[in-house]
């Protein structure tokens, strides 16, 4: 472990101890965050999957009807009928905070509930059916957008958090404990050497005193 550049003194030791404590606390917090995010994420992704299945199935119906309509009607009439839509979709974006991730919440407003921007003359029933169906799918489609975006954002955040947790758990914290151990051992070692030195000096002094007494 990288303990090459550590000064083995008490100052460094107390500093490292503080950092270790912070790292431990951060690790715990991040771990909780990760678990919380994961719980939310799994819920959202499950909804997301279900929504996507229904939307894709419904869109198929829309397309089928539209295809028939475009086969029956001339291209020009079809385009003219759809040229000026009466219906408008506007979306308000709010953000919801899930564990410090800002997730969009789309609440949409439909301007008019009459979907048909054309008269009955010259247009085929399939077009009506197609558009009607689309109107039905619309709320799901927007909900899908919301959930899918949320899932993507949460996934990114979870990935980041997991990396941080791992970095703390497997790199930072072991490094700190190792450094602290190293310093403690060094300090103990120097303490022991001081003690022995003192004992040695004491011995020498006693010997000197004794020899002086013998001389006199």
Quick check: 144 binds other proteins (CB under 8 A)? yes
CB atoms within 10 A of CB 116: 17
Quick check: 146 binds other proteins (CB under 8 A)? yes
Quick check: 164 binds other proteins (CB under 8 A)? no
Quick check: 72 binds other proteins (CB under 8 A)? no
Contact predicate 34/158, CB 8 Å: yes
Site residues (CB under 8 A) for other proteins, limited to 74-113: 78-79, 82-83, 85, 87-93, 95, 102-104, 106, 108-111
**Which strand (E) or helix (H) includes residue 93?**
strand 89-98
Window contacting other proteins (CB under 8 A); options: 24-32, 148-156, 167-175, 196-204: 148-156
Give the tokens for residue 91.
Answer: 């979306």
- How far lies 148's CA from each of 21, 45, 118, in Å? 38, 7, 34
SS3 106: strand
**Which strand (E) or helix (H) includes residue 37?**
helix 10-72
Minimum Å gap between C-beta 179 and other proteins is 30
Quick check: 50 binds other proteins (CB under 8 A)? no
Give the tokens for residue 165.
Answer: 């947790």
Per-residue interface string for the shown chain with other proteins, residues 7-26, x marking contact by CB under 8 A = --------------------
CB atoms within 10 A of CB 183: 23
What is the Cα–Cα distance from 189 to 191, expressed in whole angstroms?
5
Q: Which of 16, 23, 33, 66 binds other proteins (CB under 8 A)?
A: 66
Task: Using CB under 8 A, list all residues that contact other proteins.
Answer: 37-38, 41, 45-46, 48-49, 52, 55-56, 59-60, 62-64, 66-67, 70, 78-79, 82-83, 85, 87-93, 95, 102-104, 106, 108-111, 115-117, 127, 130-131, 134-135, 138, 141-142, 144-146, 148-149, 151-156, 158-159, 162
């Amino acid at each position: 472990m990288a303990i090459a550049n550590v000064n083995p003194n008490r100052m460094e030791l107390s500093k490292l101890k503080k950092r270790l404590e912070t790292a431990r606390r951060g690790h715990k917090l991040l771990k909780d965050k990760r678990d919380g995010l994961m719980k939310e994420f799994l819920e959202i992704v499950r909804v997301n999957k279900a929504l996507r299945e229904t939307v894709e199935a419904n869109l198929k119906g829309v397309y089928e009807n539209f295809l028939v309509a475009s086969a029956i009607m001339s291209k020009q009439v079809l385009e003219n009928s759809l040229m000026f839509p009466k219906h408008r979709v506007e979306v308000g974006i709010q953000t919801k905070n899930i564990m410090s991730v800002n997730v969009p919440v789309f609440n949409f407003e439909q301007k008019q509930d009459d979907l048909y921007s054309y008269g009955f003359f010259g247009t085929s029933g399939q077009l009506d059916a197609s558009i009607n169906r689309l109107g039905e799918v619309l709320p799901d489609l927007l909900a899908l957008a919301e959930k899918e975006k949320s899932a993507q954002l949460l996934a990114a955040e979870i990935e980041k958090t997991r990396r941080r947790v791992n970095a703390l758990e497997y790199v930072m914290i072991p490094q700190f404990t190792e450094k602290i151990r190293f310093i403690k051992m060094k300090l103990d070692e120097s303490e022991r050497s001081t003690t022995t030195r003192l004992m040695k000096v004491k011995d020498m002094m006693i010997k000197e005193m004794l020899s002086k007494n013998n001389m006199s």
